Amino acid sequence: MGIILKRTRYIVMRDDGAIFCGLAKNYKFKLVKEIGDTAIKTYLSENKAKASFLSSWWDSKKEDFESGKYRVIKVNEVLEDGKID
């Protein structure tokens, strides 16, 4: 099995460890243990993550990132070539 695609993305995490999830404006924060098959909202850059989150989440302001209420986390998405069972 080998890696055929690896890319950097950014996610928004709340101070309690919950991750910003959802599609089509149906967003919510979920703890990692509760995510299951839920889509995690990812962004192309740290700046896009902050700007998009601030415009889509009703209870957010720029100062929330400065205070640590929300933070942007860098993640890697990896697609591996492998046998499908």
Which domain covers residue 45, as residue numbers? Answer: 2-78
> Could you read off the pLDDT of 39-79 as tens digits, one per residue?
999 999 999 999 999 988 888 889 999 999 999 999 998 88
Q: What is the DSSP string of the chain?
A: -EEEEEEEEEEEEETTS-EEEEETTEEEEE-HHHHTTPPBP-BSSHHHHHHHHHHH-TT--HHHHHHTSEEEEEEEEEEEE----
Q: Does some domain include residue 54?
A: yes
Q: What is the pTM of this model?
A: 0.84
Q: Does some domain include residue 84?
A: no
Q: Does some domain include residue 50?
A: yes
Domains in the chain, number: 1
What does the pLDDT read at residue 80?
83
More confident position, 80 or 54: 54
Q: Does some domain include residue 34?
A: yes
